[in-house]
């Protein structure tokens, strides 16, 4: 008779979803990953502040670290009404990626849970009846196995009850698993000495720091080291626009400059136009560009420049610069920096008569 009941319950558990009411409530599971723009600590602080404001229930909080990344995984439940604002908050923290999404019908899930529990209850009754029969014949070994099975079923019943209760309580909530991730410094390949020993194995490469893309405008001043009358002015000033990529701090820059004094003859260079591609390097001791203040960096640029005289005689040449920069202030949205560079044309006679020191001040928006 008990086997017949099991068959009927199984049939009903399979047939029930087809009889479900059309007015359904759903439980949604989201799994997000965010590559943070600023430091991991400040991003976690901002997310926790938001979760506190919407009274979210944090289930788990785990921090892990690998060779290339450090990350914090937060598992929480929050009101359905916070769905849009939560997504906007995550987007502000960095590059948001949806890893997985699952939509669960509450009524269906609860109904299945109840019938699964009923099946487990019937199974427990079967095991208890079997245990009584074994007890009468004094089969000790089989009795122990049956007791273990009863304990396992009790555990499954408890978990099923727990899940049913969770579904009932969470009908106005969504479940989220959010991973906040920050890129770490990648290790350099170790160098091997002549005797086969590994040296510098713990050094880190400061070029692998994750920095958000940015676009900026600025003012530039070029002081010619050895100006020549009739060929170059002592100073050129102008404006620059630049774009910094979020990979290895590479940037593209365009600068236009004019002589600060009127040319004496028509052969004197009056205008300079630069286009260059370069890269910055942030030292580890200054947290690799993550500080609000005192972000020091160095870098190189290579590119082409167009020199125009008063008589519209133009010449295109290659050049290179090495620079040292200092970010005066930096936050999650913008940074203000200044730098000094040495400008060196790759052509004679410009290599002598146009080389000099370039000063810059720029305002940059993080994208």
pLDDT in tens, 290-325: 566 677 889 999 999 998 887 777 788 899 999 999
* Strand extents, DSSP E, 81-121: 94-105
pLDDT in tens, 105-138: 767 666 777 878 888 888 888 888 888 888 888 7
pLDDT of residue 309: 87
Domain boundaries, the chain: 106-173, 213-366
Architecture of domain 213-366: Beta Barrel (2.40)
In DSSP terms, 12 is beta-bridged to: none
Asked if the model's pLDDT at residue 166 lies above 50, the reply is yes
Residues 268 and 232: beta-carbon distance below 8 Å: yes
pLDDT in tens, 242-290: 998 864 578 899 999 999 988 878 888 889 999 999 998 877 655 445 5
Q: Percentage of the chain with pLDDT > 70?
A: 77
176: tokens are 């989220």
Tell me the average pLDDT across 169-180: 79
Q: Which of 367, 342, 335, 337 is nearest to 357 (CA)?
A: 342
pLDDT of residue 268: 87
Higher pLDDT, 136 or 168: 136
pLDDT in tens, 50-75: 999 998 888 888 998 877 788 999 99
What burial letters (b/e) apply to 97-123, b meaning 16+ CB within 10 Å? eeeeeeeebebbbbbbbebbbbbbebb
> Is the overall model pTM greater than 0.95, yes or no?
no
């Amino acid at each position: 008779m008990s086997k017949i009941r099991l068959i009927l319950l199984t049939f009903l558990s399979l047939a029930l979803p087809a009889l479900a009411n059309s007015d359904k409530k759903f439980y949604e599971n989201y799994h997000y990953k965010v590559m943070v723009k600023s430091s991991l600590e400040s991003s976690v602080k901002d997310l926790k502040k938001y979760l506190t404001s919407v009274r979210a229930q944090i289930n788990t909080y785990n921090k892990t670290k690998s060779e290339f990344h450090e990350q914090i995984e937060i598992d929480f439940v929050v009101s359905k009404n916070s769905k849009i604002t939560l997504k906007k908050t995550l987007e502000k923290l960095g590059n948001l990626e949806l890893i997985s999404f699952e939509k669960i019908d509450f009524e269906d899930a609860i109904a299945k849970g109840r019938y699964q529990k009923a099946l487990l209850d019937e199974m427990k009754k079967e095991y208890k009846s079997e245990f009584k029969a074994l007890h009468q014949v004094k089969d000790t070994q089989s009795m122990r196995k049956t007791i273990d099975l009863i304990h396992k079923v009790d555990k499954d019943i408890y978990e099923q009850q727990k899940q049913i209760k969770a579904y009932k309580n969470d009908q106005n909530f969504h479940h989220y698993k959010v991973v906040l991730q920050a890129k770490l410094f990648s290790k350099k390949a170790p160098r091997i000495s002549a005797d086969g020993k590994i040296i510098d194995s713990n050094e880190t490469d400061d070029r692998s720091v994750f920095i958000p893309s940015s676009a900026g405008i600025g003012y530039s001043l070029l002081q010619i080291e050895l100006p020549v009358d009739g060929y170059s002015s002592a100073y050129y000033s102008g404006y620059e626009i630049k774009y910094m990529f979020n990979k290895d701090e590479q940037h593209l820059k365009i600068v236009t400059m004019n002589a600060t004094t009127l040319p004496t003859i028509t052969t004197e260079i009056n205008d300079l136009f630069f286009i260059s591609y370069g890269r910055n390097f942030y030292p580890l001791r200054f947290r690799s560009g993550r500080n609000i203040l005192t972000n020091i960096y160095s870098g190189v640029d290579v590119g082409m420049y167009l020199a125009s005289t008063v008589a519209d005689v133009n010449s295109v040449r290659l050049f290179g610069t090495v620079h040292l920069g200092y970010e005066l202030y930096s936050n999650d949205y913008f940074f203000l920096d200044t730098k000094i560079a040495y400008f060196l044309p790759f052509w004679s006679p410009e290599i002598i008569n146009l080389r000099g020191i370039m000063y810059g001040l720029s305002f940059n928006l993080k994208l």
